[in-house]
Amino acid sequence: MYVLQKLNRFVIPRTELTYPSHQLKMHENAAKAPVDHVMPDFEDACPYEFKGESSRNTMVEALTTLDFGEKVIAIRPNNIHSKYFLGDIEAIMLGAPDRFHGIILPKTEHAEDIVYLSKLLDALEPQGGWTTTVQIEALIETPLGVINAYDIAMASSRMAGLIFGIADFAASMGVRDNVYNQNQNFHYAKPRLSPRKRQGFTQSITPGCVSCARTPLRRRLRRFTPACARRVKVPAISAWTARG
């Protein structure tokens, strides 16, 4: 769940489009796509030769020149232990203030990962002239991240949710099938990341791209890659209204 402060509303995205950060054409297509949430990606979707200044410059150009409408924009940097992480965060925070809404932190395993990112954002927001607060989603992709899910969720007031990265989690566990037997293969991991409403924190569970071409629409969850978006026409939900 994202709070869009300038629009005075919150959004629970239903459809998400993930795409490489280093191609301006991809940003242009994403800005026009009928989805609620876009995630330009510095990490897995960005080839090694484009990591660093090239992809950062493209990202900042897209954020500052394109109109994404009322979409939630959450950016995935390289993971916190990568040599590219700090440069990715500094580039977008200082180069595109108030032009995106969140950071999706990949390979999150400890609450300290979130605390570090949150403190980094605390320092960069005033430096970049931000008038809004950047939120954080933690991407849980390893068994250690699952074990520490609750502490991760409660590590910062910036937290907007948890994302279950089922493909990398399956690989780390040696699970070959991450589509048809999810409730059996991930019977511990999924409930571990389930919503804890009594604690006042809503966590999201998403599967990554799970062979959408072979999966009936009614069984798909909310995360779509660019290839999936070409196959599936899903009308966007722009906002849900809160009670109370």
pLDDT tens, residue by residue, 145-188:
999 999 999 999 999 989 888 878 888 877 776 667 666 667 66
Mean pLDDT of 15-25: 93
**At residue 221, does pLDDT exceed 60?**
no
For residues 118 and 19, give the distance between their C-alpha atoms in angstroms, rounded to a whole number: 24
Please tell me the CATH superfamily of domain 11-231, with its number: Phosphoenolpyruvate-binding domains (3.20.20.60)
Task: Compare 15 and 90 and report the one with higher pLDDT.
Answer: 90
Q: What is the pLDDT of residue 87?
A: 98
**At residue 220, does pLDDT exceed 70?**
no
Q: Which letter, b or e, does each residue of 9-30 get, where b requires 16 or more Cβ atoms within 10 Å of its Cβ?
A: ebbbbbbbbbbbbbbeebbebb
SS (H, E, C) the chain: CEEEHHHCEEECCCCEEEEECCCHHHHHHHHHCCCCEEEEECCCCCCHHHCCHHHHHHHHHHHHHCCCCCCEEEEECCCCCCCCHHHHHHHHHHHCCCCCCEEEECCCCCHHHHHHHHHHHHHHHHHHCCCCCCEEEEEECCHHHHHCHHHHHCCCCCEEEEEECHHHHHHHHCCCCCCCCHHHHCCCHHHHCCCEHHHCECCCCCCCCCCHHHCCHHHCCCEECHHHHHHCCCCCCCCCCCCC
pLDDT confidence band for 196 (50 / 70 / 90): very low
Q: Where are the domains of the chain?
A: 11-231
pLDDT confidence band for 3 (50 / 70 / 90): confident
Render pLDDT for 224-240 as a digit per residue (tens, 0 to 9): 344 333 333 444 333 33
